[in-house]
Structure 1
């Protein structure tokens, strides 16, 4: 449901952020967002998603049922199915005869209004918004809205939305970056007060292989174990900010990749991650979108620096190895981050 809520609020933002009334502020928009969500209880839609990667196009169609606050069902043409009743989620792959069962995470005291308000402010800060006009999508009149990132170094290119004039829901969404584009179209959509509860439950067929999140957890390994397993000298960050300590570390033998994640003991959402991988032919290094980053030199090593909001990444290659230091923190400056990268040895 959150995806839909975000798109609704985005539409309200676009209409109110200066395109039609320069006097509308975020607080007024927030009130409209809350009202719109209160009026939306459930819907059923037929959706197509078309992706184009370097000229190769693929279209996936599915049916979607949504009921507030947290029930959903998505049926794909190839037999793939995702069902959630708000407490459990089932991801069923008919062809593989396999289902993944996930228990929903508790949201605690998360205030969705605050979440949406923060999202709206972020959209205002980071994009130029234009209403391109009115068009017809899936037989309905829609506003065509375009968002252009103010920061030209971001991976994301322009985003386009077509919002139903009557319901303010997205009928079409187009996103793109260099070499990759995605278009989602709601071919039909019907609204209802409530839907059959059986849509949001799933009976696991006999003989189906059942997996849980535990089956996908990566077992943490000590740095000493990683050194034993790795086919290359394993580096470490020797200069960490105060309060940071190693939280997760593991070695992926299939990809010859060592990973270390250090967390702020006082804020687990702030972290420093070091990834090093064998890249003898430089294939991984060549896939880095250099045009989206800045070239910096640290300790004689030329590398790509990419920054977005609180994230900073430094990526470089040396002697057939690929290195990546990614920092997620509001408090670490670029200069401090460069000192951290310099300490990798």
Structure 2
């Protein structure tokens, strides 16, 4: 039986958490306009916050080895200062501390006593842009309703339900053919239902006094509990000092500096742009490979390049370029990441559950997230010469392969 990955579920829940931390609600059924207005009003009033998030993954009785519990301590202060400390995320015993003062980000892994120091890109309004994008995603991808009131740990709370938008619900011609004359599902259809489990509703408890989330429960499309999140020790606008976001380097720690070039944007974000190859090459050290074909409505939006120094786990030096393409009418993105290594290229990370494919005679891997095939994440990984390419998109497989086949090696 195919299951949603815990990472995907956690990503959705974290997105909902961060947006609801700057939202409020009314004692009536919510609509898109209400939510958007409340989010914007609340966001403007918050200067800092802190809380501890306790996460329980419930992968199902048949896969007990995939169940895990973890926690994340989060502290945030405008503009752009963040500190997170995570433990046992994903089922391991690992710990990670990330501190950002708005200029540098420090990622510390106690297990290896290693710190990755990253110079943050000089991109104005980056935090605001990401926040706005998060709100748009949340509002566009779910239907939110007020179910009633229910206390959490003795605190009065509103109970909301966010249901993913999966389309208009009309059966396709092929789906209708899968039913027998009595309207009952065939054996093949029942097998498909067992194999494909997508993300279902998320229940959210909002504190009636603080207007902040206290608890989440996310279910799959079969009604099984997938993940639970509880928020404790929430504090808002307490005047967190800047010193909380100063990273103190532990004794004996190896510091690895990762150079990050500025994000390169098109001059007018509302118009299609051309990839600034020469400017990217200046920062990244190599000229990226670009597709000659793009689906209708997609255009280049921005790029970011990085030289990792010695940051690869085995000491390999590599340079990275990320090209982002956007379809603004459909509010969809495609991300093409290219890496050039010093030495032999590593094996593709898309192995488990990935399909072997061939792109212009080159071997590659294709992977599609379990769940709704029309909106699921598609990933493609292959190599052209000394460049490793990884493509992430939300389009049909045939279109993704067509884009990949239009990318050719530099002469």
Asked if structure 2 preserves the Cα contact closer than 8 Å seen for 1:138 and 1:171, the reply is: no
Q: 1:170 aligns with which of 207, 210, 213?
A: 213
Q: Say whether residues 1:6 and 2:85 are aligned partners.
A: no
Show the counterpart of 2:371: 292
Show the counterpart of 2:266: none
Q: How does 1:21-40 map to 2 (within 5 A)?
A: 26=33, 29-40=35-46
Q: 1:71 aligns with which of 72, 81, 92?
A: 81
Secondary structure of 1:157 counterpart: strand
How big is the shift at 1:31? Answer: 4.3
Secondary structure of 1:137 counterpart: coil
Supply the distance in 2 between the matched residues of 1:313 and 1:31 (Cα, whole angstroms).
35
Supply the distance in 1 between the matched residues of 2:229 and 2:254 (Cα, whole angstroms).
31
How big is the shift at 1:201? Answer: 0.8
Matched residue pairs, number?
Answer: 286
Supply the distance in 1 between the matched residues of 2:336 and 2:95 (Cα, whole angstroms).
40
Supply the distance in 1 between the matched residues of 2:225 and 2:133 (Cα, whole angstroms).
28
Whichever structure has more strand as a proportion of its residues is 1
CA-to-partner distance for each residue in 1:285-313, whole Å, 9 max, x for gaps?
Answer: 3996687355xxxxxxxxxxx446xx877
Q: 1:106 aligns with which of 112, 118, 122?
A: 122
Asked if structure 1 preserves the Cα contact closer than 8 Å seen for 2:369 and 2:378, the reply is: no
How big is the shift at 1:338? Answer: 7.5
Supply the distance in 1 between the matched residues of 2:335 and 2:207 (Cα, whole angstroms).
41
Secondary structure of 1:198 counterpart: helix
Query: Mean Cα displacement is larger for which, 39-48 or 140-149?
Result: 39-48
Q: 2:57 aligns with which of 51, 60, 76?
A: 51
Q: Say whether residues 1:95 and 2:111 are aligned partners.
A: yes
Q: 1:205 aligns with which of 235, 250, 255?
A: 250
Asked if structure 2 preserves the Cα contact closer than 8 Å seen for 1:5 and 1:37, the reply is: no
How big is the shift at 1:328? Answer: 4.9
Asked if structure 2 preserves the Cα contact closer than 8 Å seen for 1:130 and 1:147, the reply is: yes
Supply the distance in 1 between the matched residues of 2:103 and 2:322 (Cα, whole angstroms).
31
Secondary structure of 1:167 counterpart: coil
Q: In structure 1, list runs of 5 or more residues that go unmatched.
A: 224-235, 249-253, 255-260, 295-305, 316-323
Supply the distance in 1 between the matched residues of 2:46 and 2:103 (Cα, whole angstroms).
21
Secondary structure of 1:6 counterpart: helix
Q: Say whether residues 1:148 and 2:148 are aligned partners.
A: no
Q: How does 1:221-240 map to 2 (within 5 A)?
A: 240=293
Supply the distance in 1 between the matched residues of 2:119 and 2:375 (Cα, whole angstroms).
34
